Amino acid sequence: MMARRARPKPDEVISVCYGIHPATKEVATIFVRRNGSYSVGNHTYSNQHNLPIEAEVNIIHGIEVEFCVPVYQMNDENTREMVAALKDRAGRLKE
């Protein structure tokens, strides 16, 4: 008999978004959870405006989200290339 699949946890990370933080000009990583909350840095926030995460992060933190990927593609080669290109762009903004 097969084991029954566990119920999804509400605080499970389902996607990861990347953008450039306007103050530090560094790449910001946003972890989006199943329950609609998200993490920027070491802090977790609820989605106060019930908007898409990209809009919420832009309103609250000023971070313009460039792209999002499902959590299982976070360490994919294509995602690493996109993050590297974003880091290059952020480095040019610092100058």
Q: How far is CA 79 from CA 17, 32, 52, 62, 69, in A?
A: 11, 16, 21, 23, 8
Q: Is the pLDDT of residue 1 over 60?
A: no
Cβ neighbours, 10 Å, residue 50 = 8
Q: What is the pTM of this model?
A: 0.86
Q: Is the pLDDT of residue 2 over 70?
A: no
Position with higher pLDDT, 6 vs 1: 6
What pLDDT is attached to residue 87? 95
Position with higher pLDDT, 10 vs 88: 88
pLDDT in tens, 38-69: 999 899 999 888 889 999 999 999 999 999 99
Q: Is the pLDDT of residue 10 over 80?
A: no
